[in-house]
């Protein structure tokens, strides 16, 4: 299905966020994911389905200052 | 505390501002803000808070000004290279506003000193350049019940959130720092100097909003921007009841080793 990841149209095979994290090889720490502007805690990724056309934002913690 | 005639003039644009006024200015003048890191973010934050009349500004930084700082750390100037950052910053802040009191902490924040240093302040700004100190600021502030604004920049992007007791903390969003192999510091990947100003002025604005009690600070929210597209996005996130620090059954109950070693490379 096609979704938007960080404003880029992307085809994915995952059906929930946990699978998407694996598909995208996201690191285990320091990454947050939002669907439609709502952050989803990592503990809920496996129970969060991804709908066709979803807007997903992957945010890496930034440490610069 | 009545404003003096000079103060009425200096702060005129605040005094006539809807929602600010004399009460807001008096509150700022009585406020104490601690800025951790007198670098890229700490520069604009401290300049604007000093100009705004925050009565006491504490600066924590054990570093000296280096030539590579000057591309973004606008409170420091070329002749300041080699001077302690807190001395260089104090001089500029006092020149901007002799009304205010500057407290210098020429030391790096650590698990041994964080609670004592932060304790007297009303609000804390995180302007540090490493995860260890960001988690230390977050943990110490939550333990002390202090409000703070946490900012991070790298490359062309920035992110910022604000906390007050009872709202989500940094660990609610990012429970643990990334693995060391995943960390990109500004010394490794670079940072556009001007975005320190973009993010730092957001932090200064958040501090002022919290101190005078106006508007909706970034509680339970992360604001991000990408300077290349100039997309700004606000993401909502609730307090995480499973958070190891501020959740229902916390497992982090004292400051632990944060393993930050100041390294010369980051200069």
Domain ranges of chain A: 2-60
Q: What is the pLDDT of residues B22-56, one digit of tens each?
A: 999 999 999 999 999 999 999 999 999 999 999 99
Q: What is the mean pLDDT of chain B?
A: 94
Asked whether residue B262 carries a pLDDT value surpassing 60, the answer given is no
Neighbours of B235 (CB within 10 A): 23
Read off the pTM.
Answer: 0.94
Q: How many CB atoms lie within 10 A of CB B147?
A: 20
Q: Given a cut of 60, is residue B266 above it in pLDDT?
A: no
The token duo for B89 is 């910053």
A32: its two tokens: 């947050």
Render pLDDT for A7-64 as a digit per residue (tens, 0 to 9): 899 999 999 999 999 999 999 999 999 998 899 989 899 999 999 999 999 999 999 9
Nearest chain B CA: its distance from A56 CA (Å): 11
The tokens for B59 are 């600066």
| Pairs of residues, one from chain A and one from chain B, whose beta carbons lie less than 8 Å apart | 101
The third-level CATH classification (topology) of the domain covering A2-60 is Ubiquitin-like (UB roll) (3.10.20)
pLDDT at B257 over 80: no
Q: According to the model, what pLDDT value does residue A58 have?
A: 95
pLDDT at B43: 98
Candidate from B127, B153, B236 with C-beta closest to A37: B236
Tell me the pLDDT band of B223, cut-offs 50, 70 and 90: very high
Task: Mutate one of A48, A59, A65 to test the B interface: name it (highest B CB count within 10 A).
Answer: A65
Rounded Cα distance, B77 and B80, in Å = 5
Residue of B nearest to A26 (CA): B182
| Structural domains in chain B, sorted by start | 8-266 (3.40.50.720)
Nearest CA in chain A to B182: A27
Asked if A20 and A27 count as a contact pair (C-beta separation under 8 A), the reply is: no
Q: What is the predicted pLDDT for the residue at B185?
A: 82
The Cα of B35 is separated from the nearest Cα of chain A by a number of Å equal to 12
Give the model's confidence band at B263: pLDDT under 50 very low, under 70 low, under 90 confident, else very high: very low
Contact B242 A57 (CB under 8 A): no
Residue B2, by phi and psi: left (phi above 0), alpha (psi -120 to 50) or beta? beta
Residues of B within an 8 Å Cβ radius of A: 37, 39-42, 126-131, 134, 151-154, 157-159, 172-179, 182-186, 191, 196, 222, 224, 229, 231, 233-237, 240, 242
Largest distance between two CA atoms of chain B? 56
For residue A3, give the H/E element and its range. strand A2-5
Place of tokens 């002749």: B79
Structure tokens that stand for B110 in this block: 């650590």
pLDDT at B258 over 90: no
What's the Cα-to-Cα distance from B106 to each of B32, B56, B62, B87, B134, rounded to whole Å?
A: 18, 16, 5, 9, 18
Inter-chain touch A30–B134, beta carbons under 8 Å: no
Residue-level pLDDT at B267: 38
Q: B265 pLDDT band (50/70/90 cuts)?
A: very low
Q: Which of B17, B84, B86, B22 is nearest to B57 (CA)?
A: B86
ipTM: 0.91
Q: Which residues of B touch A7 (CB under 8 A)?
A: 229, 231
Residues B118-166: pLDDT tens digits? 999 999 999 999 999 999 999 999 999 999 999 999 999 999 999 999 9
Q: Measure the CA–CA gap between A43 and A18, rounded to whole angstroms.
A: 9
Interatomic CA distance for residues A4 and B180, integer angstroms: 29
Contact B20, B14 (CB under 8 A): yes
Residue B260: pLDDT band (50, 70, 90) is low
pLDDT of residue B9: 98
């Amino acid at each position: 299905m096609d979704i938007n990841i960080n404003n880029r149209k992307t085809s994915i095979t995952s059906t929930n966020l946990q699978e998407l994290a694996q598909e995208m090889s996201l690191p285990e720490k320091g990454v947050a994911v939002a669907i439609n502007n709502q952050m989803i805690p990592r503990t809920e990724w496996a129970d969060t389905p991804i709908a066709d056309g979803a807007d997903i934002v992957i945010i890496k913690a930034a440490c610069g200052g | 505390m009545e404003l003096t005639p000079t103060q009425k003039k200096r702060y005129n644009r605040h005094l006539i501002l809807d929602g600010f006024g004399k009460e807001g200015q008096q509150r700022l003048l009585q406020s104490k803000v601690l800025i951790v890191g007198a670098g890229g973010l700490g520069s604009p934050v401290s300049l604007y808070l000093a100009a705004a009349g925050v009565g006491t500004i504490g600066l924590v930084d054990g570093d000296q000004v280096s030539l590579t700082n000057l591309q973004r750390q606008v409170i420091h100037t070329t002749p300041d290279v080699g001077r302690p950052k807190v001395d260089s910053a104090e001089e500029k802040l006092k020149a901007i506003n002799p009304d205010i009191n500057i407290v210098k902490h020429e030391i790096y924040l650590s698990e041994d000193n964080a609670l004592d240093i932060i304790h007297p302040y009303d609000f804390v700004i995180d302007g540090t350049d490493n995860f260890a100190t960001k988690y230390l600021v977050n943990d110490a502030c939550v333990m002390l019940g202090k409000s703070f604004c946490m900012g991070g920049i790298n490359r062309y992007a920035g992110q910022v959130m604000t906390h007050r007791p009872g709202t989500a903390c940094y660990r609610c969003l990012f429970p643990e720092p990334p693995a060391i192999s995943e960390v990109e510091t500004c010394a490794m990947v670079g940072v556009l100097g001007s975005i320190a100003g973009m993010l730092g002025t957001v932090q200064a604005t958040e501090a002022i909003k919290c101190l005078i009690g106006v508007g909706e600070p970034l509680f339970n929210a992360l604001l991000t921007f990408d300077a290349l597209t100039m997309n700004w996005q606000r993401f909502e996130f609730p307090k995480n009841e499973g958070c190891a620090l501020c959740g229902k059954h916390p497992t982090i109950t004292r400051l632990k080793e944060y393993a930050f070693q100041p390294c010369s490379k980051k200069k």
